[in-house]
Structure 1
Amino acid sequence: MSQPDFSFETLAHQNGFAHVAGVDEVGRGPLAGPVVAAAVILDPKRIPAGLNDSKKLTAKSRDALYDALMADADVSIAQANVAEIDTHNILRASHIAMVRAIGSLRQPADHALIDGNMVPRDLTLSAETIVKGDARSLSIAAASIVAKVWRDRHMVDLAQQYPHYGWEKNAGYPTAQHKLGLARFGVTPHHRRSFKPIHNILYQDKNVSN
Structure 2
Amino acid sequence: MDEVGRGALAGPVSVGVVVVRLDTPTAPAGLKDSKLLPPATREALAPRVRRWAHTFAVGHAGPEEIDEFGILPALRLAGLRALAECGVVPDVVLLDGNHDWLTPPVSSAQLTLDLDVAARPQPRWPEVSIPPVRTRIKADMTCSSVAGASVLAKVERDARMVALADEVPEYGWAINKGYAAPEHRAALLRHGPCGHHRRSWRLLGEDPAQATMATERRPGMGHDGSVKVRLT
Task: Report the TM-score range of the alignment, normalised by the length of the smaller protein.
Answer: 0.7 to 0.9
Structure-2 residue corresponding to 1:121: 103
Between the aligned partners of 2:103 and 2:94, the Cα distance in structure 1 is 14
- Structure 2 residue identity aligned to 1:125: P
- Structure 2 residue identity aligned to 1:38: G
Task: Answer yes or no: is the 8 Å Cα contact 1:192–1:198 preserved in 2.
Answer: no
Structure-1 residue corresponding to 2:40: 60
For residue 47 of structure 1, report the CA deviation from its aligned partner. 2.1
Structure-2 residue corresponding to 1:84: 65
Q: Give 1:72-111 correspondences, 5 Å limit.
A: 72-73=52-53, 74-111=55-92
Structure 1 stretches of at least 4 aligned residues deviating more than 3 Å after TM superposition: none
Task: Answer yes or no: is the 8 Å Cα contact 1:193–1:199 preserved in 2.
Answer: no
- Structure 2 residue identity aligned to 1:172: G
Between the aligned partners of 2:161 and 2:48, the Cα distance in structure 1 is 22
Q: Give 1:125-144 correspondences, 5 Å limit.
A: 125-144=131-150
Task: Answer yes or no: is the 8 Å Cα contact 2:92–2:132 preserved in 1.
Answer: yes
For residue 106 of structure 1, report the CA deviation from its aligned partner. 3.5
Match of 1:38 among 16, 23, 31: 16
- Give deviations 1:46-71, integer Å, cap 9, x for gaps: 52111101111111211111111123
Larger mean Cα displacement after TM superposition, 105-114 or 73-82? 105-114
- Give deviations 1:78-117, integer Å, cap 9, x for gaps: 0011111112222231122112212221333221111122
What secondary structure sits across from 1:48 in the alignment? coil
Inter-CA distance 108–121: structure 2 relative to 1 (3 Å threshold): closer
Task: Answer yes or no: is the 8 Å Cα contact 2:13–2:61 preserved in 1.
Answer: yes
Bigger Rg, structure 1 or 2: 1
Task: Answer yes or no: is the 8 Å Cα contact 1:40–1:139 preserved in 2.
Answer: yes
Q: Calculate the aligned-residue CA RMSD, in Å.
A: 1.9
For residue 173 of structure 1, report the CA deviation from its aligned partner. 0.6
Between the aligned partners of 1:145 and 1:81, the Cα distance in structure 2 is 19
Between the aligned partners of 1:58 and 1:107, the Cα distance in structure 2 is 31
Structure 1: which 5+ residue stretches go unaligned?
1-22, 201-210
Name the % identity: 40
TM-score, normalization by structure 1: 0.79
Task: Answer yes or no: is the 8 Å Cα contact 2:25–2:52 preserved in 1.
Answer: no
Match of 1:170 among 173, 176, 182: 176
Task: Answer yes or no: is the 8 Å Cα contact 2:185–2:204 preserved in 1.
Answer: no
Q: How many pairs are equivalent?
A: 178
Between the aligned partners of 1:59 and 1:199, the Cα distance in structure 2 is 27
Task: Answer yes or no: is the 8 Å Cα contact 2:33–2:150 preserved in 1.
Answer: yes
Q: State whether structure 2 residue 142 is matched by structure 1 residue 160.
A: no
- Structure 1 residue identity aligned to 2:68: T
Larger helix proportion of the pair:
1
Structure 2: which 5+ residue stretches go unaligned?
105-128, 207-232
- Structure 1 residue identity aligned to 2:36: K
Between the aligned partners of 1:88 and 1:130, the Cα distance in structure 2 is 26
Between the aligned partners of 2:20 and 2:166, the Cα distance in structure 1 is 34
